[in-house]
Amino acid sequence: MLPHISSRPVRRTIRRAQLREIVPLADTTIYEMEQRGEFPQRFHLTPRCVVWDLAEVEAWIEERRRASNAGEIERAPHPDVRQRKNRPVSR
């Protein structure tokens, strides 16, 4: 075994399809979050191959879990079902 390779931690990268399996968000949402600095940045391995660092994505997920458990993530309001055009609910 080569000593210079075994002494470094292995950095795993994932492509878009693998990212979708891990993070169930739309591509547009991920892109917008990246632009705001709220999601790990993608980088290019080649001109046509974009990847994310798996460790950064996993750390982001753990941070989101911690923030969710602490009540730090603001939840979307419930929709007002009385304003529906189809099948409005009356109270």
Residue 81 lies in a domain: no
Cβ within 8 Å of residue 22, ≥6 positions away? 14, 57, 61
Buried/exposed code over 57-66 (b: 16+ C-beta within 10 A; e: otherwise): beebeeeeee
Q: Is residue 44 part of a domain?
A: yes
Give the residue-averaged pLDDT of 56-77. Answer: 94
pTM: 0.75
Specify the number of domains making up the chain: 1
| Residue 90 pLDDT exceeds 80 | no
pLDDT 10s digits, 1-49: 555 556 667 789 999 999 999 999 999 999 999 999 999 999 999 999 9
Q: Tell me the residue length of the chain.
A: 91
Q: Reply yes or no on whether the pLDDT at 52 is more than 90.
A: yes
Residue with tokens 């409005």: 88
Closest CA to 72 of 80, 84, 64: 64
Predicted local distance difference test score (pLDDT) of residue 25: 96
pLDDT band at 79 (very low <50, low <70, confident <90, very high): confident
Residue 83 lies in a domain: no
Structure tokens at 22: 């891990």
